[in-house]
Amino acid sequence: MAGTAVPRRLTWEVATVTAVMPETPSVRTIALDAPSWPGHRAGQHLDVRLTADDGYTAERSYSIAAAADDPLAITVERLDDGEVSPYLTEDVHAGDQLEIRGPVGGYFAWETADGGPLLLVGGGSGIVPLRAILRQREHSGSDTPVKLLYSARTPADLIYRDELDVHHDGVEIIYTITREQPAGWTGYTRRVDGALLAETVWPAGKTPLAFVCGPTSFVETVAGGLVALGYEPGRVKTERFGGTGGR
Amino acid sequence: MSPISHGFRRRHAVPEGAADRVPPGQYVTDGFPVLSAGPTPHTPLADWTFSIRRGSATLKSWSWQEFQALPAEMVTVDIHCVTRWSKLDTEWRGVSVDTLLEQVEHDAAYVMAFSDGGYTTNLPLADVTGGKARVAFNYAGAPLEPEHGGPARLLVPHLYFWKSAKWVRGLELMDEDRPGFWETYGYNMYGDPWREQRYQGD
């Protein structure tokens, strides 16, 4: 678990929303123009600070949806009991300004030199940093083999579906949905568990590098399942969220 | 001057009477969110030890059984996670770090807590002594769940909760401060929630 990041002071900067793109009924991608953004690695997150008319402020962290050389963007899921996400998914428009700082994190991040093969496992909006990693691989011309196992409630809840459905050599996308069994669906229709992992992921003998992101119970199941399959715990990186009513 | 987000408003009320217990930028949750960088380790209690080290030397080590025989205490504390949730009145049972350090001779100024799975976090000695820190193995009256750091985690509630190392297996005594795991990735060396010391330079 050795670190390689160079610590540096994180300062707030004003970013301008350049576009708001609906992804699913409850998820939006927000593109940001941030002139002083210092750059980031795929998989990192950033902090957003909102200020209300009465001066009240709230800050939350969001995964960056962009590769290092993409225009900066975050993808936000609306949480009904959240404070910041309802605003970001319903009220924010192109041209609006908000404050950001980052990048934050650095352990849950991938660069070409980190190699693979890569196993990306996402639950719900846990796909966001994994999408950044996929784009990073594509942009850098890396031939690192990738499997992405992506679980969502219904096909309509799959974020970035159009982008993920575009074929890329060396990338295998495996979907599973947990609340429906629609006609014509060719992916899995069950929760990710040890058996589904055994069926779909790289064998441990290939010493894969795994990134797992999603709600806590999902990440617990997947990370534990991968270790049970022989994955080296130090090569299973996790990012957990959810259940706090915070975002 | 911060830009105003019209239409954005406070939705999380601070519980009545708790205003002075919630550090700036935090919100109160009833849940107990989980954050960790890797898989949850499951060390059998028969293999568990808690060690105090200095350099390459182990100064003192307790088995699980020996550790359980040490005097333990109940505490009720508020905890504050750098990801902005705070949880009030959490109940823990554990052994004071004072009790552990009393059993070794040392003049260290800092400690590095180390854990199963390779996690580390650094703390000044003054922040883990004087009744400020415990090695906790019970939460809310039950054995601490693995996903929350069981069998035992450090409990240093006056600092952001990443300093309360999960799956803790010991303390390394140090003369000088060194960054632990998250501190290497840009998080604050000290982590005082009342001064919002989330990241390097805060």
pLDDT digits (tens, 9 = 90+) for A96-109: 999 999 999 889 99
In the numeric block, the tokens 């180390």 are attached to: B114
Put simply, whether A246 touches B (Cβ < 8 Å) is yes
Confirm if B168 and B135 have CB atoms less than 8 A apart. Answer: yes
Chain B, residues 129-158, CB within 8 A of chain A, namely 147
Cα(B161)–Cα(B82) distance, rounded to whole angstroms? Answer: 7
Cα(A4)–Cα(A67) distance, rounded to whole angstroms? Answer: 19
Question: Taking CB atoms and an 8 Å limit, are A51 and B11 in contact across chains?
Answer: no
pLDDT for A76? 96
Domain B25-30+47-195 matching CATH 3.30.70.100: the answer reads: no
Q: Kindly tell me if the per-residue pLDDT of A245 is higher than 60.
A: no
In the numeric block, the tokens 């196992």 are attached to: A149
Cα(B58)–Cα(B65) distance, rounded to whole angstroms? Answer: 18
> Domain residue spans in chain B?
25-30+47-195
- Cβ contacts of B194 within 8 Å, gap of 6 or more: B23, B24
- For residue A246, give Cα distances in angstroms to A135, B29, B191: 28, 8, 20
Chain A, residues 137-176, CB within 8 A of chain B, namely none
The stretch A70-98 carries a mean pLDDT of: 95
Question: Taking CB atoms and an 8 Å limit, are B39 and A97 in contact across chains?
Answer: no
Cα(A202)–Cα(A170) distance, rounded to whole angstroms? Answer: 13
Above 0.90 for ipTM, yes or no? Answer: yes
- Candidates B8, B186, B201; nearest CB to A106: B186
Structure tokens at B160: 């952001």
Q: What confidence tens digit (pLDDT) does each residue in A199-211 have?
A: 999 999 999 999 9
Which sign, positive or negative, has the C-alpha torsion A93, A40, A160, A211? negative
Q: Which of A80, A244, A247 to mutate to test the interface with B (most CBs of B within 10 A)?
A: A244
| A70 DSSP assignment | S
Cα(A226)–Cα(A233) distance, rounded to whole angstroms? Answer: 8
- Give the homologous superfamily in CATH for domain A13-104: Translation factors (2.40.30.10)
pLDDT for A4? 47
Backbone φ and ψ for B71, nearest 5 degrees, come out as: -65, 125
Q: A7: pLDDT confidence band, cut at 50, 70 and 90?
A: low
Averaged confidence pLDDT in chain A:
93
Cα(A59)–Cα(A47) distance, rounded to whole angstroms? Answer: 6
Chain A, residues 98-117, CB within 8 A of chain B, namely 98-99, 104-108
Put simply, whether B37 touches A (Cβ < 8 Å) is yes
Q: Kindly tell me if the per-residue pLDDT of A246 is higher than 50.
A: no
pLDDT for A244? 39
Question: Taking CB atoms and an 8 Å limit, are B184 and A56 in contact across chains?
Answer: no
Chain B, residues 49-88, CB within 8 A of chain A, namely 83-85
How many inter-chain contacts (A to B, CB under 8 Å) are there?
Answer: 149
Question: Taking CB atoms and an 8 Å limit, are A233 and B39 in contact across chains?
Answer: yes
Q: Kindly tell me if the per-residue pLDDT of A144 is higher than 80.
A: yes
Confirm if B119 and B37 have CB atoms less than 8 A apart. Answer: yes
Q: Kindly tell me if the per-residue pLDDT of B32 is higher than 70.
A: yes
Choices 3.40.50.80, 1.20.910.10, 3.30.43.10, 3.40.50.2300: CATH for A112-241: 3.40.50.80
The stretch B159-185 carries a mean pLDDT of: 97
Cα(B30)–Cα(A246) distance, rounded to whole angstroms? Answer: 11
> Domain residue spans in chain A?
13-104, 112-241
Q: What confidence tens digit (pLDDT) does each residue in A146-183 have?
A: 999 999 999 999 999 999 999 999 999 999 999 988 99
Q: A247: pLDDT confidence band, cut at 50, 70 and 90?
A: very low
Confirm if A157 and A24 have CB atoms less than 8 A apart. Answer: yes
